[in-house]
Structure 1
Amino acid sequence: MSKPIVDFHCDVLCKLLVQPELTFLHNEGGKLDVSYERLKQAGTALQTFAIYIPEHLNGSIVPILESIDLFNEKVMTCPDMHFIKTKSDLQQCLSAGAIGAMLSLEGVDGLQGNLSLLRVLFELGVRAAGLTWNHANWAADGVMEPRGGGLTAKGRELVKECDRLGIIVDVSHLSERAFWDTADLATRTIIASHSNSKSIMNHPRNLTDDQIKAIIALQGRVGITFVPYFVAGGEKVAIDDVLRHVEHVCELGGEHHLMFGSDFDGIDHYVDGLTHPGQVEDLREALLKRYTEQQTEAFFAGNALSFLAEHLPD
């Protein structure tokens, strides 16, 4: 039987939103990276489903609510799927050997600065939130925004309200200045759900050593991602290239703060041999050649699960 896997970021809800004919239970034509069958195949303990709204639909709460509806209608109706909203949900799911499903929001554009909508999303089960995608919005500048601004006044209110509610703040996609504003402001902790090391691959979406060390100091988590152009340069990116990012985070003191955030269904190019959850076992085999079984299982599940066991609402 497969050892448990936690993946802190996939974009399958976006595909279900823009291609309504797709189903999560039966992955006809293999059009989804993440599907019910593949989560079962991988031995997934928990999958975080990002609510990402493509730019041509973005700007109101409606597609966010539609994405949550799709999550309830297409994902949560599959057998043995458990919606993870509280610490007890997580414990019950793990005890039952079921597949946990958690909701995160990737970009708060659709809230339009209205924090009452954030509270509604919390009631609907959203448990993590990234403030931006790559560009600027009312809360903060994204990492690709040329001016490199930080949090706005409204963005600061948002971070404080996330902390109060128990929504985990995700700093992937934030500009560097907005990252530091958030790190300084957050009274709980922060995660980078799908970002790699800038020292290993110099891409704007990756984290500097100082940023990684700040997340470690806050007892947060860094989700190593399988986006090939965040992993390495060149046409062909291999699993060994992913391991270089794992090694570097560990060298910075992050052995207990490292997890994975695949970004499956948010990419159309792949690390060789890492195209869907069912293939993640190859990454495990590669890690076991360099790390102990205990360390490897912590990377794949233990570090993320211990974080959620502490930071999910009661």
Structure 2
Amino acid sequence: MKEGAFCWQQTYDRMHQSFPGYTAQPVIGITGNFGDKGCELAEGYFKSVLHAGATPVIIPPFADKDALINLLDHVDGLLFSGGGDINPLYLDEEPVRELGGINAERDLPELLLARLAYDRQIPMLGICRGIQVLAAALGGTVHQDIYSSCSSQQPLLKHSQNLDRSHASHLVHIEPGSLLHGIMQTEVLPVNSFHHQAVNEPGERFTVCARSADGIIEAIESAEHKSILGVQWHPECFILKQDDCMMPLFEWLTREARSFSTAKQMHRRILTLDSHCDTPMFFDQNISFHKRDSKILVDLHKMHEGHLDATIMVAYLKQEERTEAGLAAATAKADLILDQIVDMAAKNCTAVQIARTPEDLFRLKDQGKKAIMLGIENGYALGRDIRLVEHFKQRGVVYITLCHNGNNDICDSAKAPEEEHHGVSAFGEQVIQEMNRLGIMVDLSHASEKSFYDALEISRTPIVCSHSSCRSLCGVPRNLTDDQLRSIAQKGGVVQVTLYHGFLKKEGEASILDAMEHLNHMIRIMGVDHVGIGTDFDGDGGIPGCASASELINFTRRLILDRYNEEDIRKIWGGNFLRVMQQVQNFK
């Protein structure tokens, strides 16, 4: 065999010296430019991605929705490359005289790609035109020409340099404490510059993290704890001269893409269950569960985007008068809501079905379907009729929250102004015993502290709190004390951290970081076998970083970042809750 640079056979042989012959890498799609010869891409983009340890694939401009969605199911990160101006008509603006050349083939595909990727939590980096695409697609605005539209306090810098592309021509000033500051480890960064457009207003989804001395926005990053970053300069040019000063940006994208890929693969192997959502509260508002409906936080599209397999939808009942008429109305309303959930599932039976047992959930996941379980939030639905426990069991209800924000005939509520029963009533004791007999989980999420301990003593099966948080971190009566956490764990139960900001943080806006702090605290007190996630979506739940079902994969990425292993994540994402459900349903 001949040797030398052109002996491809030797290279082929070396590639197969060890099994499987390659190192797994995240796949990063790079938007291609479009010119006279069709799709094209400057080499700095893919060389920088390769150098950062990821596999680059070039995405030609196309707007076919099925192809775009299929593409996004197979990439782990996106890089929006530079290029021509964006057509201002896409931004509801008329063109100004100074508008440069637009690229009609790229605009619509890239705006769609950015928004669809945002819905799916795919990490994104925008470069030059790319930062403008991110802003335009996600609620921001763009200067068609900075020199004619910016009202700067001082003369604008030269933002289109004549220097070689691999040399810096001006400085950008980075916000301390920003994501970009953490990546580049500096507050002042020399950059190259080739633009006459720039982001004008980033929109509420972004914060500005860098500006040039004349005030032009040079970088934006997600304000919602998402992996999105845009820069106005061209960092990909430097690697062509063996200068790796900008590689931290591509290494950041690669890390985020790897984390996203790991989470996606894990979600394929484990079953994910949200133990509490209030989506049926919106069923009377003409929602479309099979579409991506902006009025609700849980629908089929968002469950798919967030890789959520199952959710427990509850029939929520506001605590009203406990007259005979009021109690009858509460029972009727619970039945009506359960009917609506079942009807919704029947209308979408090729994609979602009602489940009654943990076995049903795993079967539906294997079939590629989403699962809905039924719950009742507020034992007010039972009135004073113990026979209704069996009625709701026959309907497929897997848990009943004993009370809500007011005392009922079962027990006292955490939010009631005064005690009525001093815990669980005599009727409430019968209800708990009947729930035990029939295999319905006892949920104490809204119960007073005395009701909690009474129920814990009465119940012969483990109890759950389907959506609760820690009082030691957020001192509201609705949350659980550390002693309550220990007690429920000792009896084999579970507590599901909720994503309502008012139960996560007393002052300021809570985020996914606060939810993680509550979960980590629960695990320190109870152990990892007694915790889970109950979002309260479409009730009060939803926080930056986990604002809807489409964003729940972000929670998995945070768990991975905090070094939880796959078995622990499986337990947190429903394994613990389903263990208790199985115990309760098997109880004799």
TM-score normalised by length of structure 2: 0.50
Query: CA contact under 8 A between 1:5 and 1:42: conserved in structure 2?
Result: no
- CA deviations 1:207-265 (Å, max 9, x no partner) are 01111111111111110000001011222212111111111111113211110000000
Which residue in the other structure is 2:141 paired with? Answer: none
Report the CA distance shift for 1:198/1:259 in structure 2 as closer, same or farther (over 3 A). Answer: same
Query: CA contact under 8 A between 1:139 and 1:151: conserved in structure 2?
Result: yes
- CA deviations 1:159-207 (Å, max 9, x no partner) are 0000000000000000111111100000011000000011111111100
In the alignment, the residues of structure 1 paired with residue 521 and residue 439 of structure 2 have an alpha-carbon distance, to the nearest angstrom, of 30
Pick from 49, 57, 60 the counterpart of residue 313 of structure 2.
49
Which stretch of the first structure deviates more once superposed, 248-257 or 65-74? 248-257
- Unaligned 5+ segments in structure 1 are none
Query: After superposition, where does 1:72-83 map in structure 2 within 5 Å?
Result: 72-78=342-348, 79-83=350-354
Query: CA contact under 8 A between 1:135 and 1:142: conserved in structure 2?
Result: yes
Which residue in the other structure is 2:474 paired with? Answer: 201
In the alignment, the residues of structure 2 paired with residue 116 and residue 82 of structure 1 have an alpha-carbon distance, to the nearest angstrom, of 27
In the alignment, the residues of structure 1 paired with residue 358 and residue 565 of structure 2 have an alpha-carbon distance, to the nearest angstrom, of 26
Pick from 86, 109, 131 the counterpart of residue 380 of structure 2.
109
- Unaligned 5+ segments in structure 2 are 1-263
- Secondary structure at 1:264 match in 2: coil
Query: After superposition, where does 1:189-268 map in structure 2 within 5 Å?
Result: 189-267=462-540
Deviation at 1:110, TM superposition (A): 2.7
Deviation at 1:303, TM superposition (A): 2.2
- Secondary structure at 1:193 match in 2: strand
Which stretch of the first structure deviates more once superposed, 177-186 or 294-303? 294-303
Which residue in the other structure is 2:276 paired with? Answer: 9
Establish whether residue 120 from structure 1 lines up as the match of residue 370 from structure 2: no
Which residue in the other structure is 1:96 paired with? Answer: 367
- Secondary structure at 2:275 match in 1: strand
Query: CA contact under 8 A between 1:189 and 1:219: conserved in structure 2?
Result: yes
Report the CA distance shift for 1:203/1:282 in structure 2 as closer, same or farther (over 3 A). Answer: same
Which residue in the other structure is 1:146 paired with? Answer: 417
Query: CA contact under 8 A between 1:14 and 1:54: conserved in structure 2?
Result: no
In the alignment, the residues of structure 2 paired with residue 40 and residue 167 of structure 1 have an alpha-carbon distance, to the nearest angstrom, of 28
- CA deviations 1:108-162 (Å, max 9, x no partner) are 2132111112211110111100110010011111111122321111111000000
Query: CA contact under 8 A between 1:85 and 1:313: conserved in structure 2?
Result: no
Establish whether residue 271 from structure 1 lines up as the match of residue 538 from structure 2: no
Deviation at 1:77, TM superposition (A): 2.8
Match of 1:22, as an amino acid? Answer: I
Establish whether residue 289 from structure 1 lines up as the match of residue 561 from structure 2: yes
Query: CA contact under 8 A between 1:24 and 1:35: conserved in structure 2?
Result: yes
Query: CA contact under 8 A between 2:399 and 2:443: conserved in structure 1?
Result: yes
- CA deviations 1:262-282 (Å, max 9, x no partner) are 000002x74212210111122
Match of 1:25, as an amino acid? Answer: H
Which residue in the other structure is 1:161 paired with? Answer: 434
Match of 1:23, as an amino acid? Answer: S
Which residue in the other structure is 1:24 paired with? Answer: 289
The answer to which structure, 1 or 2, has the higher relative contact order (CA under 8 A, 6+ apart) is 1
Establish whether residue 178 from structure 1 lines up as the match of residue 451 from structure 2: yes
In the alignment, the residues of structure 2 paired with residue 272 and residue 107 of structure 1 have an alpha-carbon distance, to the nearest angstrom, of 28
RMSD across aligned C-alpha pairs, in angstroms?
2.0
Match of 2:374, as an amino acid? Answer: L
In the alignment, the residues of structure 2 paired with residue 67 and residue 187 of structure 1 have an alpha-carbon distance, to the nearest angstrom, of 29
In the alignment, the residues of structure 2 paired with residue 71 and residue 171 of structure 1 have an alpha-carbon distance, to the nearest angstrom, of 23
Match of 1:176, as an amino acid? Answer: E
Query: CA contact under 8 A between 1:14 and 1:53: conserved in structure 2?
Result: no
- Secondary structure at 1:127 match in 2: strand
Report the CA distance shift for 1:86/1:239 in structure 2 as closer, same or farther (over 3 A). Answer: closer
Which stretch of the first structure deviates more once superposed, 4-13 or 285-294? 285-294
**How many residue pairs get matched?**
310
Query: CA contact under 8 A between 1:87 and 1:313: conserved in structure 2?
Result: no
- Tell which structure's C-alpha radius of gyration is larger: 2
TM-score normalised by length of structure 1: 0.92
